[in-house]
A and B are shown apart, each in its own frame.
Chain A
Amino acid sequence: MIRQLTGSERQLAAIMLGLVAVVGVAMAAAGRNDTMGVHGLIVMLFAGALMYPLFSAIGAPEPTEDREASYYDDPIKVGIVLSMIWAVFGMFMGVWVAAQLAWPGLAFDGAWSTFGRLRPTHTSGVIFGFGGNALIATAFHVVQRTSRARLAGQISPWFVLFGYNLFCVLAVSGYLMGVTQSKEYAEAEWYADLWLVVVWVTFFVLYLRTIARRKEPHIYVANWYFMAFIVVVAILHIVNNLALPISWGSAKSYTVWPGVQDAMVQWWYGHNAVAFFLTAGFLGMLYYYLPVRAQRPIFSYRLSILSFWGITFFYMWAGSHHLHYTALPHWVQTLGMTFSVMLLVPSWASAGNALLTLNGAWHRVRDDATLRFMTAAAIFYGLSTFEGSFLAIRPVNALSHYTDWTVGHVHAGALGWVALITFGSLYTLVPSLWKRERMYSATLVEVHFWLAIAGTLIYVFAMWNSGVIQGLMWRTYTGDGALAYSFVDSLVAMYPYYIARTIGGLLFLIGAIIGCYNMWMTVRAVPETVSRQGDLPVAATVPGE
């Protein structure tokens, strides 16, 4: 990896790592005994850990081959590995917190291991760690292949990838120490947020510059989705995290948004994180890897354009459906509800487009578990967007809000759509990136698929049941107008569903671990594809062209 870099690029990387380490020292000095001091130490260790591979190869001979003749795949490979590590970590934390709800003793009386601290390590671990790394890796892959151009930088892809992972490490380690902004999916504190801005803007510039170098005149639609993901996440992140630290040496900060405006900004962020982090980028994967795997072009390219603009413009307004029956002005709630219902049109356009692409290739879906991963993802995408539009309707929300139904809905999307499309894409990507004939074991892909499906269904059905029961128990009145059940009554009724949920999550986790093993063995044990050097058109091999 380091051998691909020229001498001056290696020096630049060393200087950048040195600067990061200096920032770490400054944070440790300013923070002292505050959690920020510990984070300073973590930043130093992170930079030091990256210096090791850099300096062990810094004197190696420079690359002699023409780098522009091939795509830049090293950062993608590392991104896939990081993504799978985060998947196992994040899903394990999910199973643990799920088990804590059934058996509270599993917190082991530690402060760091209470539900409130562990839950964000699960959400950030799977959304940002697993999903984010997969998005960065596939974005780097798709933009190069569809633009027919190499990434527009040698160091910046590494900066984006490792910088992003430093953010994830700071976020997750902070939660365990009790650092939080108390904003859902934006719990990380101000210095981590500032760092993410730097990383994300670099990502944006890198993506734009690569598109600008394209040899293919038309920008394929998957790139539009990835661009929307990058641009909008930058906007959301900056606006929602505007905050003033109580001092330069403290991890604690206060948001600039007061009262109900804070709630509105937070859920504008929160729902668009679902829209642009967990949907737009993954639709980019869907529009590239599904046609490639099925070896059929997308059913309707026009429809993909219309659904792109539909999703981009409708989603922006949907966030206020999280604040039904609150102090938020009624018309803003209604606006959010209306746009959420309208969203069904572009969402189903994408899901239908994906499924119609497979029309005529259903035998492949039957035989190939990787393609089936993506097919199931499209189906779950259709189902969970329908459920989302439905739950956003105010009277429905009166029953579902604050219950496990919401949790079930999120996991229908996160497990059924996001994780399945990611696994399908990675199973397509791993053999092609490492130039292997196939995955190590098709049977294990099949096992992973069925574990993931079974886990998702168990999870979602358990949460539907418990959510509806909760909602009904909370709104049941006796003849004289008092509440029929106490909160604890409803909690006791949840017990079997919480156990079922833990089992569903555990099956999903086991599937992911099997996936890791299968990918590892693919790289280690499957022979490389025989080079097709002799099977190219003559013109392409003429030197000097």
Chain B
Amino acid sequence: MDLDHDTVVAFSKSWGLFYLMGFFLCAVVYAFWPANRKRFDRAKNSILDQDDKPWR
């Protein structure tokens, strides 16, 4: 296949779009996955702990 300008443009206009949409779906699924809810809630509250020492 000839890798000229038009080929690259066609590739980026098709697969470039698909991978972006695929990636978006993955991010949404991860963010809304029910099992992750507890983990996220813990994470956002844990930074408010007053304890200022590394855990052992």
Interface residues of A, Cβ cutoff 8 Å to B = 68-71, 144-146, 148-150, 215-218, 220-222, 288, 291-292, 295-298, 301-302, 305-306, 309-310, 313, 331, 432, 545
Contact = CB atoms under 8 A, between A and B. Distances in A.
B55 to A, nearest CB: 4
Given A68-B54, A302-B32, A309-B27, A216 B40 contact: no
B43 A291 contact: no
13 contacts: A69-B53, A71-B52, A146-B47, A215-B54, A216-B55, A218-B43, A288-B47, A297-B48, A305-B30, A305-B31, A305-B40, A309-B23, A313-B20
A215 B46 CA distance: 12
Contacts of B48: 291-292, 295-297
Contacts of B52: 71, 145, 432
A146 B46 CA distance: 8
Interface in B1-56: 9, 20, 23-24, 27-28, 30-32, 39-48, 52-56
B42 to A, nearest CB: 7
A317 to B, nearest CB: 9
Given A69-B53, A145-B47, A288-B47, A218 B39 contact: yes
B32 A149 contact: no
B37 to A, nearest CB: 8
Contacts of A302: 31-32, 40
Q: Lowest 9 A-B CB distances belong to which pairs?
A: A215-B55, A297-B44, A301-B40, A309-B27, A148-B55, A302-B31, A218-B43, A301-B44, A305-B31
B6 to A, nearest CB: 11
Contacts of A295: 48
A69 B23 contact: no
B54 A144 contact: yes
A322 to B, nearest CB: 19
Interface of B: 9, 20, 23-24, 27-28, 30-32, 39-48, 52-56
A335 to B, nearest CB: 8
A105 to B, nearest CB: 51
Contacts of B31: 302, 305-306
Given A68-B54, A149-B54, A150-B54, A220 B47 contact: yes
The A interface is mostly helix, strand or loop, or mixed, namely helix
Given A69-B53, A146-B46, A218-B43, 4 more contacts: A145-B47, A217-B39, A306-B31, A432-B52
Given A288-B47, A305-B27, A70 B20 contact: no
B25 to A, nearest CB: 11
The B interface is mostly helix, strand or loop, or mixed, namely helix
A216 B56 CA distance: 11
A92 B23 CA distance: 44
B44 A291 contact: yes
B44 A71 contact: no
Contact of A70 (B32, B44, B54): B54
B44 to A, nearest CB: 4
A71 B54 CA distance: 6
Contacts of A301: 40-41, 43-44
A344 to B, nearest CB: 16
B50 to A, nearest CB: 9
Nearest to A213: B54
Contacts of B55: 148-149, 215-216
Among B24, B40, B41, B47: residue with most chain A CB under 10 A:
B47
Contacts of A215: 54-56
Among A146, A217, A220, A302: residue with most chain B CB under 10 A:
A302
Contacts of A305: 27, 30-31, 40
A292 B47 contact: yes
Nearest to A218: B43
Contacts of A68: 54, 56
A68 B32 CA distance: 36
Nearest to A299: B44
B47 A291 contact: yes
Contacts of A222: 47
Nearest to B19: A313
A25 to B, nearest CB: 41
A433 to B, nearest CB: 10
Contacts of A310: 27
A463 to B, nearest CB: 34
A423 to B, nearest CB: 20
A310 to B, nearest CB: 8
Contacts of A217: 39
A533 to B, nearest CB: 12
A309 B25 CA distance: 11
A314 to B, nearest CB: 9
A308 B56 CA distance: 30
Contacts of A545: 56
B43 A69 contact: no
Nearest to A298: B44
Among A70, A150, A309: residue with most chain B CB under 10 A:
A309
B43 A148 contact: no
B40 to A, nearest CB: 4
B51 to A, nearest CB: 9
Contacts of B23: 309, 313
Nearest to A314: B20
Among B39, B48, B52: residue with most chain A CB under 10 A:
B52
A153 to B, nearest CB: 14
A150 B56 CA distance: 10
Nearest to B27: A309
